[in-house]
Amino acid sequence: MKANVIDMTGARAGRVMVLAYAGSKNKQAYWSCACDCGTRFVTQGRLLRSGETGSCGCLAKEKRALATAKAKTTHGKTVGGNSRVYRIWVNMRSRCTNPNFDSYPY
């Protein structure tokens, strides 16, 4: 390891554990890392220190999957009928479609 390289062996950055120095290229130090998901990869030390590298990519993949799942649930207000606007909408529909509703004739 070069004298001016900051030793990051054993450090954690998000889900990443730094295992060993992997060398340098174009005046950039590279580190061999292991993600909590089990993936091993090499990344620049400056990205680890700045927080830009917090996982091997699995965290971004999980966030995308969660966002996609949320997008598939219309607007997110229907769960349990907790939204005031949603309850108003449900009652409005009932007045128009349910003959047992008191205001149905109107």
44 and 70 both lie in a single domain: no
Listed in sequence order, the residues at least 6 apart from 72 whose beta carbon sits closer than 8 Å to its beta carbon are none
Q: State which residues form the domain around 83.
A: 62-98
Measured at the CA of 80, the angle between CA 106 and CA 76, to 5 degrees, comes to 95
75 and 52 in one domain?
A: no
Domain count, the chain: 2
The pLDDT tens digits for 64-98 are 888 777 766 666 565 565 678 878 888 888 888 98
104 within domain boundaries: no
Shared-domain flag, residues 18 and 47:
yes
Residue 76 phi/psi, 5-degree rounding, is 80, 5
Same domain, yes or no: 1 and 46 = yes
Residue 16 lies in a domain: yes
7-20 mean pLDDT: 90
Query: Across the chain, what does the average pLDDT equal?
Result: 84
